[in-house]
């Protein structure tokens, strides 16, 4: 039986880290007393298993790892030099790019321009839009667990799940949300919702909480495909959203959800779902079938296991060739 790979990364997106931890490997994350970005440790929100292991940042250099996994520019430019040894920095490296380019939608060069790191995008849209330079690049689409809590939809209103929407403005569709809310009953949940929402619902409690809403609305203009969307689809909640970024390549409009760039169209469809619970259940069931095929956690875990094994194998082969020269 081969040894489990040891992956070192930072705690950046808790829900993504939780799903990443479903693979057959061990994940090590650094901690500091200040709990700055990336150094939170396991935290109290997610039910991580024993394969997510905290390491005090000052002791990271004393541990053996197989792969270094970056998730932010700061991880790559600063953190690795602050806490990794020179030997650890020569290990196989992977960089998860969680977002589409912000500076310019098509002409932004990624920070990576090296054959020594594998760049992983979480959507095909993101890979398409970034200038990936000469870095080896691939896509690993999201995977989410099946909570076992199914859609009931008895609440005659929609739910929106976005953190800090008031402060994140047009990018995440604050104006779209406000316009739709004037015509459709909508509840907003998430951190930093202020007077616009109900506040945070912790990730483990979210499935049961949102299962009662008639539909899930995504007003975000320009972002990656949100895990919250995948989670809603997996539960059988009908999804309504803007036909932008990756969502336009996920939802079959009118069958597994409703998408459009016309807000009035989306408002009409949300009101249709409110007036027709049977249609909502049908759309939601089709969306769940899609999620099971495309965003299953088993496929996601296999993709990551394969990639980690691949980069370790290539590094080992390169070391062998160097020794032979």
**pLDDT tens digits, one per residue of 184-201:** 999 999 999 999 999 999
Half-sphere exposure of 271 (CA within 13 A, CB side): 11
Q: pLDDT digits over 87-96, tens only? A: 999 999 999 9
pLDDT in tens, the chain (325 residues): 468 999 999 999 999 999 999 999 999 999 999 999 999 999 999 999 999 999 999 999 999 999 999 999 999 999 999 999 999 999 999 999 999 999 999 999 999 999 999 999 999 999 999 999 999 999 999 999 999 999 999 999 999 999 999 999 999 999 999 999 999 999 999 999 999 999 999 999 999 999 999 999 999 999 999 999 999 999 999 999 999 999 999 999 999 999 999 999 999 999 999 999 999 999 999 999 999 999 999 999 999 999 999 999 987 766 555 555 4
Q: What is the CATH class of 155-294? A: alpha beta
pLDDT at 237: 98
Give the whole-angstrom CA distance, residue 225 versus residue 98. 9
pLDDT at 3: 84
pLDDT at 2: 65
pLDDT at 323: 53
DSSP output for 118-166: EEEESSHHHHHHSB-TTS-EEE----B---S------EEEEEEE-TTHH
Q: Which residues contact 123 (CB under 8 A, 6 or more apart)?
A: 100, 139, 141, 142, 224, 225, 245, 246
Q: What is the CATH class of 6-143+297-324? A: alpha beta
pLDDT at 1: 46
Q: What is the pTM of this model?
A: 0.94
Where do the domains of the chain lie? 6-143+297-324, 155-294
263-275 helix and 277-294 helix, angle to the nearest 10 degrees:
110
pLDDT at 314: 86
Domains 6-143+297-324 and 155-294 share a fold: yes
Neighbour-count burial of 311, counting CB atoms closer than 10 A to its CB (0-12 exposed, 13-18 middle, 19+ buried): buried
pLDDT at 157: 98
Phi, psi of 315 (to 5 degrees): -65, -40
């Amino acid at each position: 039986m081969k040894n489990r790979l040891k992956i070192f990364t930072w705690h950046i997106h808790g829900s993504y880290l939780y799903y990443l931890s479903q693979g057959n490997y061990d994940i090590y994350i650094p901690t500091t007393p200040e709990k700055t970005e990336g150094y939170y440790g396991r935290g109290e929100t997610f039910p991580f298993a024993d394969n997510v292991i905290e390491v005090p940042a000052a002791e990271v250099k004393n541990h053996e790892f197989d792969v270094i996994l970056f998730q932010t520019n700061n991880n790559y430019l600063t953190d690795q030099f602050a806490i990794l040894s020179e030997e650890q920095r020569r290990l196989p490296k992977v960089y998860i790019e969680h977002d589409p380019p912000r500076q310019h939608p098509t002409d932004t060069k990624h920070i990576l321009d090296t054959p020594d790191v594998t760049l992983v995008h979480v959507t095909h849209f993101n890979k398409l839009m970034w200038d990936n330079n000469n870095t080896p690049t691939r896509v690993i689409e999201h995977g989410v667990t099946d909570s076992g809590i199914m859609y009931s939809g008895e609440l005659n209103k929609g739910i929106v799940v976005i953190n800090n929407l008031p402060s994140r403005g047009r990018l995440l569709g604050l104006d779209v949300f406000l316009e739709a809310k004037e015509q459709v009953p909508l509840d907003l949940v998430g951190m930093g919702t202020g007077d616009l929402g109900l506040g945070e619902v912790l990730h483990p409690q979210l499935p049961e909480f949102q299962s009662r809403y008639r539909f899930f609305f995504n007003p975000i203009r320009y972002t990656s495909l949100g895990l919250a969307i995948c989670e809603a689809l997996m539960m059988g909640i009908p999804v309504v959203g803007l036909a932008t970024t990756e969502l336009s390549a996920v939802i079959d409009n009118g069958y597994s959800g409703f998408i459009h760039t016309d807000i009035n169209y989306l408002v009409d469809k949300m009101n249709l779902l409110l007036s027709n619970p049977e249609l909502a259940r049908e759309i939601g069931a089709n969306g769940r079938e899609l999620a099971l095929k495309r965003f299953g956690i088993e496929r996601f875990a296999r993709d990551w296991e394969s990639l980690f094994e691949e980069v370790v194998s290539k590094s080992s082969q390169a070391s062998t060739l160097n020794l032979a020269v």
